[in-house]
Amino acid sequence: MNPQAQNTNALPELLGKMESLLSPRVGIGGALTPMPRHAGEPRVYLYNVETALLGPQGMRPSRPIAGGAGFSYEEAAVSALGELVEGYCAAYLEPGNIVRGSYRELRRHHEMLEPERFALFSERQYETPGFPYPRFSEDAHCSWVWGYSLVRKKRLLVPASRVYMPYTLKADEADIGPTISTGLATGTSLEGAIVSGLHECLERDAFTLFWMNTLPVRRIQLRNASASTRTGQLFHQHLEAPGYEYRAYDITSDLGVPTTYALLTCPSARGPLYIVGGATRLDGGQATLKALMETVQTRPYVLWLMERDPHWRPAADFSNVVDFPFTCRLYTVAQELRPHLLAVEDRVTSEVSLENLPRWESRDAATDLAELVRRFEHRGYEAVVVELTTPDIAALGLRVVRVITPELQQLHADHRYPFLGGRRLYDVPVRLGHRTRPADETQLNPYPHPFP
């Protein structure tokens, strides 16, 4: 959930409604827990809430802890509760909503999202002995649920495994690849939730293209950010702190929606931490603030991981870098790998001030949504929405969606199985003028990404 998109004056009322979801006995989560903030640290509020077991109709959400950050208590609490709500709704799958069969069988009677649109794995990966995922072919037997195409303006079936988290495959169902939370979003309107979901899909696409292709970047100037602008004020008042070195880079893709990659280096009792974040917004300044805030939010999580498992180190072939808890601390615990993280500085081609980043003049969520959909239509890409809102969440005036953008590049959690089958991974660097011809798989970045 994006609390910065809400009216500031409305946040206390929204928070009051969302807090009704919390109870140690009958709530979908326990109490909101503030993360301690010590003197000299960024003035960012951080809150966590433990998710509840859902009982016989649902499973425990895939995230046992929901977290949020903000420049105020209300922003951080609403953000954490929004993540709690996302996980809760995404864990519920009504069996009666499932349509089972292969694309080839079902397309005679139903509108469907075509398997060939999905940017999954490459032919080389599929042909590797022991590769665990089969091709998502027209004959692959799957469970499907109804979504709505923002591009075709009609209902169509999408694979249920791309929607729900956690998701249990049926005995005869093809496991076409892992799914993470990209595109799950909560909002106070359907349009607002969809915009947030699209932003996240675009962010992960842009970051993965940047990382896998080691693309050039534009540095965003932070130190001299103008205090006369709202974004500059927030940076200086809330994020600047002694010993905290922020770097921010414009990694906007060919789709043109401002996307920022942020890198934080900061001290800790366990030595220097190297933490990254990313965000996409139609306002480049807001994207940068959100990416920077993500780095601050991830700091206590990385420290907790290191305290829980102080001896973890990456294998020489990175075969034990299999999920985000490993990627997010990799460049902190493996000092010898840090040059590969910091090499982005060698690829800076220009600079831009925080206040001069591109900004779409937003009027409302519906207008923003239309602008985003226009960009998908221009490229011939799909964007499908599955509404996940449960009745109890709808009663609070909230909407929850999963946005599916099959052609966009997916971010992988497991370094052993990156998604190398999509065309954007190879075509976008050429389209942006960074390569004269598409790379092949052997030219892609061999080092694990650092995303949390």
Architecture of the 215-353 domain: 2-Layer Sandwich (3.30)
Q: Given this model, what pLDDT does residue 61 score?
A: 64
Give me 17's structure tokens.
Answer: 């409604």
- 215-353 shares the fold of 9-91: yes
Q: Which of 208, 205, 417, 182 is nearest to 323 (CA)?
A: 417
Task: Report yes or no: 450 and 328 within 8 Å, Cβ to Cβ.
Answer: yes
CA dihedral 435, 437, 443, 448 (to 10 degrees): 50
pLDDT, residue 59, reads 57
Q: Residue 362: what pLDDT?
A: 79
Residue tagged 């922003």 (tokens): 75
Q: Is the dihedral of CA 370, 375, 378, 380 positive or negative?
A: negative
DSSP 269: T
Reduce the DSSP state of residue 64 to 3 states and report it: coil
How remote is the C-alpha of 169 from its chain's centroid? 23
Residue 439 DSSP one-character state: -
- Structural tokens at position 290: 């959100």
Q: What is the pLDDT along the chain (452 residues), one digit of tens a residue?
A: 787 777 778 899 999 999 999 998 899 999 999 999 999 999 999 999 999 887 655 555 667 899 999 999 999 999 999 999 999 999 999 899 999 999 999 999 999 999 999 999 999 999 999 999 999 999 999 999 999 999 999 999 999 999 999 999 999 999 999 999 999 999 999 999 999 999 999 999 999 999 999 999 999 999 888 888 899 999 999 999 999 999 999 999 999 999 999 999 999 999 999 999 999 999 999 999 999 999 999 999 999 999 999 999 999 999 999 999 999 999 999 999 999 999 999 999 999 999 999 998 777 999 999 999 999 999 999 999 999 999 999 999 999 999 999 999 999 999 999 999 999 999 999 999 999 999 999 999 999 999 99
**166: cis peptide before it, omega within 30°?**
yes
Burial class (CB in 10 A: 0-12, 13-18, 19+), 113: buried
9-91: CATH topology is Double Stranded RNA Binding Domain (3.30.160)
Residue from 120, 48, 21 nearest 396 by CA: 21
pLDDT at 228: 81
Q: What pLDDT was estimated at residue 5?
A: 72
Three-class DSSP labels, 276-328: EEEEECCEHHHHHHHHHHHHHHHHHHHHHHHHHCCCCCCCCCCCCCCCHHHHC
Helix (H, G, I), strand (E, B) or coil at 274: strand
Query: β-strands 141-149, 259-266: how paired?
Result: unpaired
CA distances from 60 to 51, 63, 164, 166, 167 (A): 8, 8, 12, 8, 11
Q: What is the pLDDT of residue 200?
A: 99
Joined together, the tokens standing for residue 335 give 């000092």
Separation of alpha carbons 154 and 268, rounded Å: 52
CA dihedral 21, 98, 153, 109 (to 10 degrees): -170
Query: How many Å separate Cα 139 from the centre of its chain?
Result: 30
Give whole-number Cα distances, 309 to 381, 436, 451, in Å.
42, 44, 19
Domain boundaries, the chain: 9-91, 215-353
Residue 33: how many other CB atoms lie within 10 Å = 13
CA distance 240 to 393: 37
| Dihedral angle of Cα 86, 48, 20, 64, to the nearest 10 degrees | 50
What's the distance, CA 63 to chain centroid? 14
pLDDT attached to residue 119: 99
DSSP 167-234: ----TT--------STTEEEESSHHHHHHHHHHHHHHHHHHHHHHHHT--EEEEE-TT--TTSHHHHH
In angstroms, rounded to a whole number, what is the distance separating the alpha carbons of residues 174 and 195? Answer: 30
Which pair of tokens denotes residue 202?
């675009």
